Amino acid sequence: MTSEQTSLFEFWTSNPLVAGMERTFGALADAFGWGPGRELAYAWGELIAASAARQGAQAEYLLTVTEAWRKGTERFLEQLAQMPAQGERVESMVSLLRKWASAVDAAMHEAMQSEQGLEVTARLLRAATHQRQQLQKAVGVASDSLHMPTRADVDEAYREIQQLKREIRSLKKAARAES
């Protein structure tokens, strides 16, 4: 080894910052061995597929909503066209807005209560729920690999702590009653 190589080697082996980085990232590299790495890649792949499915369901839902708005606006324009023949007129901007909202609301209600509207809404909700589950799965795999508690673990620990606090209170109360 040359003197320059020796000093660099000593720097990497004796510097506390480098040693800390090695401990931190060395353990991380160990935690993401082949097994957990593959599991994480699989979980991320499922998350990506679930996200794509949710986006597709969202696009379908938005098409249904857009079509309902279009139909509602057409009805509104038809109502406006019929008003002069019936001797009616729009008195204010608020009444115009109310007529428009009424027409669009009726069209939206029909669209969302139709078989297609219910199916599209159900698909969107199922896709969003599935995406959320896949996200939780991916986070769980990463948490396990890093030996970090998941939210469920923390919630369970919190419940246990609360239960223990209740037991301690009841024991203290019983001890005070006996004395």
**Domain co-membership, 76 together with 116:** yes
pLDDT greater than 80 at residue 40? no
> What is the share, in percent, of the chain residues with pLDDT greater than 90?
55
**Domain co-membership, 176 together with 106:** no
Q: How far is 119 from 95, CA to CA, in rounded Å?
A: 34
Does residue 162 or residue 3 have the better pLDDT? 162
CA atoms within 13 A on the CB side of 131: 17
**Domain co-membership, 93 together with 157:** no
**Domain co-membership, 120 together with 177:** no
**Domain co-membership, 44 together with 132:** yes
**Domain co-membership, 134 together with 157:** no
| Rg value, the chain, Cα | 32
Say if 7 falls within a structural domain. no
pLDDT greater than 60 at residue 34? no
Most confidently predicted of 1-5, 26-30, 72-76: 72-76
Q: Which long-range contacts (CB under 8 A, 24 or more apart) does 7-13 make?
A: none
Q: Show the domain range for 166.
A: 151-179
Q: How far apart are the first and last CA of the chain?
A: 78
Alpha helices in the chain (DSSP H): 3-14, 16-31, 34-82, 93-113, 115-145, 151-178
**Domain co-membership, 168 together with 95:** no
Q: How far is 85 from 95, CA to CA, in rounded Å?
A: 18
- pLDDT tens digits along 57-94: 999 999 999 999 999 999 999 999 999 999 888 889 99
pLDDT greater than 50 at residue 1? no
The answer to whether the beta carbons of residues 127 and 54 sit under 8 Å apart is: yes
Say if 91 falls within a structural domain. yes
Domains held by the chain: number: 2
Q: How confident is the model at residue 164 (pLDDT cuts 50, 70, 90)?
A: very high
For the residues 2-26, what does the mean pLDDT come to?
Answer: 59
In the structure encoding, which two tokens stand for residue 133, read together?
Answer: 């589950």
Say if 19 falls within a structural domain. no
**Domain co-membership, 92 together with 120:** yes
